[in-house]
Structure 1
Amino acid sequence: MGPIAEAVTAAGGSLRRVFSRAEMPLTLLDTPDRLILLRDQLKLVEAAIREIGDPALPARLSVQTGIAGLGPIGLQVQSAETLQAAVARVRTVMPCLLQTATSTGLYRQGAQAFYGYAVTERIESGRQANEILALGYLLGTVRHFLGPTWRPAWAVVTGASLVAREEIEALLGCEITLGSRAGLVFSSHCLEIPNPKRYDPVTTEAADNEPIGDDIAACVAHMIELGLDEARPSIDGIARRLGMSRRTLQRRLEEAGTRYADIQRAVLVRRAKELLSGEALSIGRIAIELGYADTAHFTRAFLEWTGVTPSQWRRSFT
């Protein structure tokens, strides 16, 4: 979100309008590294493109950011022995991340290799923009091994046409064709190139970027926490954002041995304690931040959760 916000601001666009069109709270900019769903990412990129009139924005963002913008995936790339090993690691890690809903794959055709990318969710709006964004990151992965000036033989995106083709080709450094699957094409001998800057991620650093797994309860907890930036999220709203019905979500949570109410309560307790541990917000303001109508309702809920009032907890634990 950070690079998108910078691009919109630099072009004189309105961040408030961009986030409003994407149906996302502007307060997410306060924590730009938080994970968001793929469908929300696509909406945000599409809104930014519309706001500043730059269809080449996805390529510009990903090429400029490189593997530094890949978070935990970037760590896997940088610690792999060869390019082929890095591609294999990315393929394994990506399905385990909540925000992706995507897959990558490596295909050899004689002397050529095709490093492909696909959106696995049924999302049509913004799909091509997401593919172009991904191509920039795939390019960054290969360039980590082959150098910043390396160029693929050509790139492929899906769709019937491509707006701003010449500008995007200039950013990626190669010709782009239209096909059934997005990806980069290059010589297969490149896959054996060793990692020139290999390192082992420090445990504490990796923990800071630890992705959310495919545990449905963890996904719901994360979505509830994101929703608190805007309003108290409902189970219907969370189910809709996850692309499933309320009943399906309830059934999945039951199979995981939990309930929506239990997850929501745990998230609220954790966020309440985080806010109370500082002195910047009054208890009344914290109540509003957590979706309560007034201080009294929040106080009663917190007392039920912890056995003490918010003011007592703040005095005892700060």
Structure 2
Amino acid sequence: MAEIPLTRGQHIILFWEMLGKIGAPTESLLEKHKLPALLYGKEDAYLPIKNSIHFVETAARAQGITDCGWEIAKLYTVEHLTYGTRLQMANAPTLFQALRVACLRTRFEATNSKMWLEFHKSSLRVCTHLQGTAGHHHLEYPQWIQNILPIEIVRHFVGRRWAPETMAFEARYVPGLSVQALWPATRFLAAEKSSWIDVPVEYLGLTPINKERDDNTDLESALENPNSLIHSLRLLLPAYIDGKTPSLRDIADMANTSTRSLQRLLAEAGMGYRDILNTVRFEKAAHLLKETDIKITDIAMSMGYSSAAHFTRAFQNVAGVPPFKFRLFHRISAWKDVGLAESGK
């Protein structure tokens, strides 16, 4: 039996709200396209993609809105993702991990969405595809959102002004000149096998910019929500990294809770205890790679790994690049910053 491709109501609500602000009628148009006449509170409900695209196209044409996909996409931020996706992304230690979360969670945004990562020369290509939509018109609307999502994720780690060198669409579509003018550093491609953007590999090991932390969170009170729990563990565990680390049962005892309750809270955030241990090890190793000249083998041993090869595999799984490249990228970036500072004197 064929599946019905569905999208989260949040994506249609963005356009629906935009129409409301210009006084455009929507109720009859939604009903005409067999969609709910009222969308209030239906951000996490699912709607048929085909009908949704037809609604957007009809309304955009009636209101004279050009490049409608962009008009919707520019309203889109990471805050519009599902709660579960935001929770897991908030705990991603690096850009690479955040993009992997997006890939794993993409079907919660659209049931026929596929998102994957490919290394391409000196970049990581973030690809998306809506399965079962061959022959559909105006797929540039959802494809704009598909491309904006990884761009927004990258900006959380690189800065708000970042833009990809290339943005590709599956649809036979290229943005109008007025939209292209807003993306002066970006080349647009049409009729590709998937929608995609390229992210420089040297960005993959970056940590979030200005991530707010409450260093006063204690382990027991942190059990009230998964994010606080993970944060408190990331404060606690560095003290044990160079020796014997506490077991999950030990942590549960410290928090005055059961092992099962602890596992449930971690699962809610999409993480296991070993994931958090690996994150803490990565953060310590990243600091040593950036700030010291300690040999990679010695760093591996100090982190409790049995070999440099084991450490390299674990580090690359988090950062997307091996330790020696991570150190090299950081040194090059630091040299560039010094050069810019000196040239500004």
Aligning the two structures, in what range does the TM-score lie when normalised by the shorter sequence? 0.5 to 0.7
SS in 1 for 2:39: helix
Residues in 1 aligned to 2:86 and 2:185: alpha-carbon distance in whole angstroms: 21
Partner of 1:10: 21
TM normalised by structure 2 equals: 0.52
What amino acid sits opposite 1:68 in the alignment?
Answer: E
Is 1:194 matched up with 2:207? yes
**Cα-Cα RMSD:** 3.4
Cα distance between partner residues in 2 of 1:106 and 1:167: 27
**Match status 1:31 vs 2:33:** no
Q: How far off its partner does 1:193 sit?
A: 1.0
| Amino acid aligned to 1:161 | Y
- Gaps in structure 2 of 5+ consecutive residues: 1-9, 214-225, 230-262, 271-345
Q: Which moved more, 1:68-77 or 1:30-39?
A: 30-39
Contact kept in structure 2, 1:55 and 1:163, CA below 8 Å: no
Query: Closer, same or farther in 2 for the Cα pair 1:29/1:46, shift >3 Å?
Result: farther
- Give 1:104's aligned residue: 115
CA distance in 2, matches of 1:146, 1:131: 23
Structure 2 vs 1, CA of residues 74 and 37 (structure 1 numbering), >3 Å: closer, same or farther? farther
**2 CA distance for matches of 1:209 and 1:79?**
8
Distance 1:165 1:33, change over 3 A: farther
Match for residue 184 of structure 1 among 175, 185, 197: 197
* CA distance 1:76–1:125, shift in 2 (3 Å): farther
Deviation at 1:104, TM superposition (A): 1.0
Aligned mates of 1:92, 1:102 — CA distance in 2: 10
Aligned residue number for residue 140 of structure 2: 128
Structure 1, unmatched stretches of 5+, are 211-318
Q: Is the 8 A contact 1:42 1:126 kept in 2?
A: yes
Report deviation, 1:100. 3.2
Cα displacement string for residues 275-315 of structure 1 (whole angstroms, at most 9, x for unaligned residues):
xxxxxxxxxxxxxxxxxxxxxxxxxxxxxxxxxxxxxxxxx
Match of 1:282 in 2: none
The structural deviation recorded for 1:182 is 0.9
Aligned ranges 1:129-278 → 2 under 5 Å: 129-162=141-174, 164=176, 166-167=178-179, 170=182, 174-180=186-192, 181-196=194-209, 197=211, 201=227
Q: Which amino acid aligns with 2:167?
A: A
Q: Which stretch of the first structure deviates more once superposed, 169-178 or 125-134?
A: 169-178
Residues 193/34 of structure 1: CA separation in 2 closer, same or farther (3 Å cut) = same
Measured against aligned partners, the alpha-carbon deviations of 1:71-93 in whole angstroms (never above 9, x if no partner) come to: 23333322211111111112112
8 Å contact 1:37–1:98 — kept in the other structure? Answer: no
**Partner residue in 2 for 1:59:** 70
Q: Paired residue for 2:244?
A: none
Match for 1:48 among 26, 36, 59?
59
**Contact persistence 1:111–1:187 (CA under 8 A):** yes
Question: Which range moves more in the overlay, 164-173 or 67-76?
Answer: 164-173
SS in 2 for 1:36: strand
CA-to-aligned-CA distance 1:191-230 (integer Å, 9 cap, x gap): 11112327854899999999xxxxxxxxxxxxxxxxxxxx
Of all paired residues, the percent bearing the same amino acid is: 14
Q: CA deviation at 1:169?
A: 5.8
Deviation at 1:61, TM superposition (A): 2.5
Q: Give the CA deviation at 1:118.
A: 0.8
Counterpart of 1:188, as a letter, is: V
Which residue number in structure 2 is paired with residue 91 of structure 1? Answer: 103
The answer as to whether partners of 1:82 and 1:191 remain within 8 angstroms in 2 is: yes
The equivalent of 1:80 in structure 2 is 92
